[in-house]
């Protein structure tokens, strides 16, 4: 970058990010869908530890009633590979592989009900992948029947599914609605033909438009669109066109993610040429243009990666200070136990995290032996819990109150986090953070770098010099 500063369009006025700040904060860092982050899970936390966490929930439910659960089901299969993808996936055109996977899911569900009993209340259910729509309608009906037989889906529950537009039609959306899905997410990423060719995901604007219209006709309560900025061949001008097209579709929510180029970890990304990736100043320009474009069309900027129409429940939660964050991103659901089903799924149970086996052979083998397929996880320490509270307050409310943390965790915030408060001083000088006698706030400009604010409180990351496994903040 050879200009003195990089202009970025903010929500209501031009924002100028000095090059020095941009360079200093353009570092790898977690997205903080959890704290500690999943890379801190350890293999010493296995099936027995997870089973104990399930038993503790069951015991607590008998004493004081069961709070609603969240369920996540991972369907790993895709017919073709998208070069940018960092998800756990299995590329295959053999749809008969789904039957064995559904059998395994039934076994895993049964192992959970053996510990929890049947009928645990569920207020949130999400099918992700991979491509859940790789499954046929009959297979999806079978899966939903298994889940409903094991758990009690409460009235008003959010039941959502991720849809690859290339695998769906308006007629198929009617089938999904009939199964009980009331929220749907379309993977768009970008509408520019050159970008689509570069990432091996070609789908027309017209086909997605027809699906969005079809979803509305089916009565889906919420339609989400996933976008990615920083992809190969993207330019601020081309992404501006995508922004305009998405505004024309007017989904209820938009998830906008920064592309994380980590070819050493994710083999498909090796097909992306690094020289085709936009530089940092272009990426921040795309983010700024998205914030300006979407907010100018009636969307509320929820935070790091989410937008929602003013009347959407997520926007209402933002206004009322009720936002939460989990492994799927921002949510209106209060912090609750999460059961992750399927290969590589991550769950949260009490003060623990757990993750399933990452490969199908390992996942199947554990279930054949009658074991939960947990291969790693973490029991959170007292320090983990207090830092999680601080990081989530910053990520969700944009402010952390000293007194609330001190009272909830029996610490004196100003003493416990003295080093972190001092480390934030440069961000205060740059207008990204404000510190007063009562707490720490992220400014409107600071939302561009809220991950950088949060990672100041990450004890693990401070001690770890190898951050290249994370995406870059800008």
Query: Known binding site: residues?
Result: 72, 78, 82, 84-86, 129, 162, 189, 201, 226, 260, 346
- What is the C-alpha to C-alpha distance for residues 39 and 464, in angstroms, rounded to an integer? 12
Three-state DSSP class for residue 155? strand
CA distances (Å), origin 126, targets 32, 145, 157, 159, 416: 19, 14, 11, 6, 37
- What is the C-alpha to C-alpha distance for residues 422 and 420, in angstroms, rounded to an integer? 5
Three-state DSSP class for residue 268? helix
Beta bridge partners of 309: 299
Residue 415: is it exposed, middle or buried by C-beta count within 10 angstroms (0-12/13-18/19+)?
Answer: exposed
Annotated binding site for [4Fe-4S] cluster: 78, 82, 85
Beta carbons of 341 and 71 less than 8 angstroms apart: yes
Annotated binding site for S-adenosyl-L-methionine: 72, 84-86, 129, 162, 189, 201, 226, 260, 346
Residue 113: is it exposed, middle or buried by C-beta count within 10 angstroms (0-12/13-18/19+)?
Answer: middle
DSSP string, 383-409: HHHHHHHHHHHHHHHSEEEHHHHHHHH
Give the tokens for residue 293: 């474009």
């Amino acid at each position: 970058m050879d200009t003195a500063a990089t202009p970025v369009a903010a929500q209501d006025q031009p924002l100028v990010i000095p090059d020095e700040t941009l360079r200093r904060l353009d570092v790898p860092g977690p997205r903080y869908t959890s704290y500690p982050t999943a890379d801190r899970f350890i293999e010493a936390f296995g099936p027995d530890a997870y089973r104990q966490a399930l038993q503790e929930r069951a015991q607590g439910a008998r004493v004081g009633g069961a709070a609603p659960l969240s369920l996540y089901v991972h369907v790993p299969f895709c017919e073709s590979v998208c070069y940018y993808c960092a998800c756990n996936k299995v590329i295959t055109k053999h749809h008969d592989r789904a039957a064995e996977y559904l059998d395994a899911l039934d076994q895993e569900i049964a192992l959970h009900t053996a510990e929890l009993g049947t009928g645990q209340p569920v207020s949130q259910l999400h099918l992700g992948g991979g491509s859940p729509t790789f499954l046929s309608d009959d297979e999806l009906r079978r899966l939903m029947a298994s889940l409903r037989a094991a758990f009690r889906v409460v009235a008003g529950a959010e039941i959502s599914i991720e849809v690859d537009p290339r695998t769906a039609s308006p007629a198929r959306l009617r089938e999904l609605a009939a199964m009980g899905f009331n929220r749907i997410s379309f993977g768009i990423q970008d509408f520019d033909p050159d970008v689509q060719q570069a990432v091996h995901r070609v789908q027309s604007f017209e086909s997605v438009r027809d699906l969005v219209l079809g979803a509305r006709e089916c009565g889906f309560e919420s339609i989400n669109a996933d976008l990615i900025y920083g992809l190969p061949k993207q330019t601020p001008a081309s992404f501006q066109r995508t922004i305009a097209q998405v505004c024309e579709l007017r989904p209820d929510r938009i998830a906008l993610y920064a592309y994380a180029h980590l070819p050493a970890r994710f083999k498909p990304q090796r097909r992306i040429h690094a020289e085709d990736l936009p530089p940092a100043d272009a990426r921040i320009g795309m983010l700024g243009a998205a914030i300006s474009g979407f907010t100018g069309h009636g969307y509320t900027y929820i935070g790091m990666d989410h937008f929602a129409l003013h009347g959407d429940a997520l926007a209402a939660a933002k206004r009322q200070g009720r936002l939460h964050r989990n492994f799927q991103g921002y949510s209106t659901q209060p912090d609750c136990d999460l059961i992750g089903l399927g290969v590589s799924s991550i769950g949260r149970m009490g003060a623990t995290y757990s993750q399933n086996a990452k490969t199908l052979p390992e996942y199947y083998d554990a279930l054949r032996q009658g074991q939960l397929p947990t291969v790693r996880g973490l029991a959170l320490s007292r320090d983990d819990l207090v830092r999680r509270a601080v990081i989530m307050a910053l990520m969700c409310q944009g402010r952390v109150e000293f007194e609330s943390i001190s009272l909830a965790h029996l610490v004196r915030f100003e003493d416990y986090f003295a080093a972190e408060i001092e480390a934030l001083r440069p961000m205060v000088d740059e207008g990204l953070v404000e510190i007063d006698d009562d707490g720490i706030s992220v400014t409107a400009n600071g939302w561009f770098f809220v991950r950088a604010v949060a990672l100041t409180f990450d004890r693990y990351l401070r001690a770890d010099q190898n951050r290249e496994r994370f995406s870059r903040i800008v």
